Structure 1
Amino acid sequence: MSNGMFIDITGLRERDPMRSPGVWSCKNNHRYRTDELWPLRRTDFEGVEAWIPYAFDKVLTDEYGPKSLVTEEWAGHRWKPELREWVKLPKKETLKKQSPKKEQYILKEDENVVIVYEEVIVEV
């Protein structure tokens, strides 16, 4: 994938048009209003024409939160545009050392070492 975006193919139906007209849902009971879905918008996804819901941003933020359209970290992974893939984040190792004057924490992440002194970060 070139941009880190995923495609979700969902089958919808208007389950009770008599009592709840314009309310669509899928097998997982996610509900959408007609005006969130139509008219569909044409887009290009990985070089192929695709159609997306009219209010795709509302649909995504309602389901995944307001940062879902801009976040580059999700579920323990970070999007690396230069690699064009989601890379699993290493678990941070925290070593706590005592010094006579102040506490020092060393965080190891990948091959970088970050030393934190009383909320001041110094990269080594």
Structure 2
Amino acid sequence: MNLTTLLIRLCLLPLLAFSPAYADADFLDVRTSLDRDRSGKRGDPKDKYFHESTFHSHYDGRFAQKEVSADVRLDHLTALIRTFLSTMADLGAETWIMHGTLLGWWWNEKILPWDSDLDVQVTERTMGFLAKYYNMTEYRYTIGNALNDEEPVSRSYLLEINPHYTIRGTEDYLNVIDARWIDTENGLFIDISTVRVDHEERKKGREGALMCKDKHTYLEKDIFPLREGIFEGITVKIPYEYEWLLEEEYGAGSMAVTEFEGHKFSSTSKLWEPIPGWVRPPKRRPTRKRPPP
């Protein structure tokens, strides 16, 4: 039984509603079954809200003690995006995919097999709505077991809003992610970023200027009106000028090169298939120049 083909919605109403978090939602507030906080909180700057795990930057260490094995990671990410999109649709919260997630959609409407996180965006109005009514709410889904033919399992997802989302400028570099949708079983998450009106650029005459705290900039006509598509078997919104946005961010080669990260795109199966025997090359160490005599 495959997780990607059996995703049954059990309940979309919040099962647990916590008080809004105006400071860090720490380990003791949100832990599930772990007895140790593996987030990077102790080593992070004090004004940073989200603390990624000490073992990998794409995991929340409050919910995980190690990486998910590569053979099931895509199944967990698929459940993550499907539950998120389904929940947002029920809440009436408009969202769209972006960055590497959008690139995966462009190739074959699937998550890129080497990805370990997902990216979506919302408007400032939508983020305010989620922060006011749904911050720190947990949603439980019944999901098919990816590893065998046992009965579907129940899994919970947490919607957590960064209280710093109200700070609009790019100077708040510690909090460029405005919210996350987190798998409370393994710590994998979706980054949720807010697209805001760029008042300064509009004053300079740049019509329809938009910005994110991560320093990405857009025009309204690049994103709106949103198009509809299918991603991992569920309806999804995508930005209007999706090809132009992908080329600007990743280069034209991102939509042309068919070998990447140990995978080759098959024109027959329309899948990124593993290249047999591929081994990741070691990282090059920077060479030090000898000081002048």
Q: Which has the higher Rg, Structure 1 or Structure 2?
A: 1
Considering Cα pairs closer than 8 Å and 6+ residues apart, tell me whether 1 or 2 has the greater RCO. Answer: 2
**Residue aligned with 1:59, SS:** helix
C-alpha change, 1:39 and 1:91, in structure 2 (3 Å) is: closer
Q: What is aligned with 2:233?
A: 47
How many Å separate the matches in 1 of 2:248 and 2:272? 25
Note if contact 2:262-2:280 (Cα within 8 Å) is conserved in structure 1: no
Tell me which protein shows more strand as a share of its residues: 1
Give the unaligned 5+ runs of structure 2. Answer: 1-73, 75-103, 113-117, 122-193, 282-293
Kept after mapping to 2: 8 A contact 1:14/1:21: no
Counterpart contact for 1:14–1:24, Cα < 8 Å: yes
Q: For 1:81-102, what per-residue CA distance to the aligned partner results, in whole angstroms no more than 9, with x for missing partners?
A: 56x557484257xxxxxxxxxx
Runs of 4+ in 1 over 6 A off after TM superposition: none
Q: Give the match for residue 119 of structure 2.
A: 8
The residue identity in structure 2 corresponding to 1:15 is D
Scaled by the length of structure 1, the TM-score of the pair is 0.57
Mapping of residues 39-118 of structure 1, within 5 Å: 39-74=225-260, 76-79=261-264, 87=274, 89-91=278-280
Offset of residue 12 of structure 1: 0.7
AA partner of residue 8 (structure 1)? D
Among all aligned residue pairs of Structure 1 and Structure 2, give the percentage whose two residues are the same amino acid. 26
Please, which of 211, 219, 237 is the counterpart of residue 25 of structure 1?
A: 211
Bigger share in helix: 2
Across the aligned residues of Structure 1 and Structure 2, the Cα RMSD in angstroms comes to 3.1
How many Å apart are 1:57 and its aligned residue?
0.2
TM normalised by structure 2 equals 0.27
User: Residues 66 and 85 of structure 1: is their aligned pair in 2 closer, same or farther, counting only changes over 3 Å?
Assistant: closer
Deviation string 1:48-100 (CA, Å, 9 cap, x unpaired) is 100000000000000100011232333x3324656x557484257xxxxxxxx
